[in-house]
Amino acid sequence: MTDDGTATAAATGTLGYEQARDELIEVVRRLEAGGTSLEDSLALWERGEELAQVCRHWLEGARARLDAALAGPAGGEGGDGDGGPGGSTAADAG
């Protein structure tokens, strides 16, 4: 059983955000449906925790990239209607 847990943890590390999210949704669905043994429920819960961590990792990485992009060039580059917060100021000037 330890080998299975190790293999699961290794496989989780290779999942993309969408894959982990979709599998997490399925795990939650199965837990909410009930009808599983306590042992199976605990295994599902543990898998859900692993998947949630993968999703959290991806989201934290995305947040860091967004923060870096927003903190990058201080208005010297772009700002031409790219959907950023400065768009309304440009519209007011025009």
Cβ-defined contacts of 5-11 (< 8 Å, 24+): 8/47, 8/50, 9/50
- Of residues 83 and 57, which shows the higher confidence score? 57
Per-residue pLDDT tens for 21-44?
A: 999 999 999 999 999 999 999 999
Note the pTM of the prediction, 2 decimals.
0.63
20, burial (CB in 10 Å: exposed 0-12, middle 13-18, buried 19+):
buried
Local confidence band at 14 (pLDDT 50, 70, 90 cut-offs):
confident
For residues 50 and 15, is the Cβ–Cβ distance under 8 A?
A: no
3 state SS of 37: coil
At 89, list the tokens: 């100021």
- Of residues 36 and 88, which shows the higher confidence score? 36
